Amino acid sequence: MKGAGAGAVAGAASGLISALVWGGDPGEHMARGAAAGATVGAIGGAVEGSNRAQAEKDYEAAQEQRELEQFRRDIGYDAFDAVVALAECKQEVAIANARVAAGSKNGNHALAGLWIQALTFEDQADQDGLLAVTPEIIRWDREINNQAQFDRELKNTYQGLIDIRAEYALPLSCS
């Protein structure tokens, strides 16, 4: 996937994780991220118009690029790469990057990495892996106080991941 589609997937997926780490409505974060990513991705294929139209496109693209870059900074570059890989069913890449993110000294980046590991394990139906990261998420996520809250958040977030895959014509299941 290239261009606007790839940018939109990256933006939506990172928005999903950003909502976990920072709170707020996951749908809103996903939509904002998808719009930013799609605009940035579309620039490469845009047909040049008048100087004024091009200047407006360049200005909008720069704004959207800053927003997408903010998502990257919010969740960390490793977590960003991990969640994009997970959306694209590159589970081994996702888990490798998520583990690096989980080891970050930045608590938000580490939490994003833990959540992406959990989502990847859920995607792989790897109960042992999921059981291994669950206590760490409950320990570090200020919004999650018990197993029931974790299960609910995981279910909702995983559905968001499936929705992203469906919206961008990606495989719903990676197996």
Over residues 114-152, the pLDDT tens digits come to 999 999 999 999 999 999 999 999 999 999 999 999 999
> Both ends of the chain: CA-CA distance in Å?
19
For residue 30, being part of any structural domain is answered with: yes
Structural domain total, the chain: 1
Residues 6+ apart with CB under 8 A from 25: 19
pLDDT of 26 higher than 70: no
Mean pLDDT computed over every residue of the chain: 82
pLDDT tier for residue 30 given thresholds of 50, 70 and 90: very low
100: in domain = yes
Residue 175 included in any domain: no
10 occurs within a structural domain: yes
What's the mean pLDDT in 37-59?
A: 56
In a domain, 173, yes or no: no
Q: How far is CA 31 from CA 13, 28, 36, 135, in A?
A: 10, 5, 9, 30
Is 36 domain-assigned? Answer: yes
Is 174 among the domain residues? no
Q: What is the pTM of this model?
A: 0.77
Tell me what the mean pLDDT of segment 94-108 comes to: 97
Range(s) of the domain holding residue 113 = 3-167
Q: If we measure between CA atoms, which residue out of 148, 160, 81 comes closest to residue 119?
A: 160
Q: Is 75 in contact with 112 (CB distance < 8 Å)?
A: yes
Cβ contacts of 38 within 8 Å, gap of 6 or more: 4, 5, 7, 8, 11
Question: What pLDDT shows up at residue 46?
Answer: 47
The reply to whether 172 falls in a domain is no
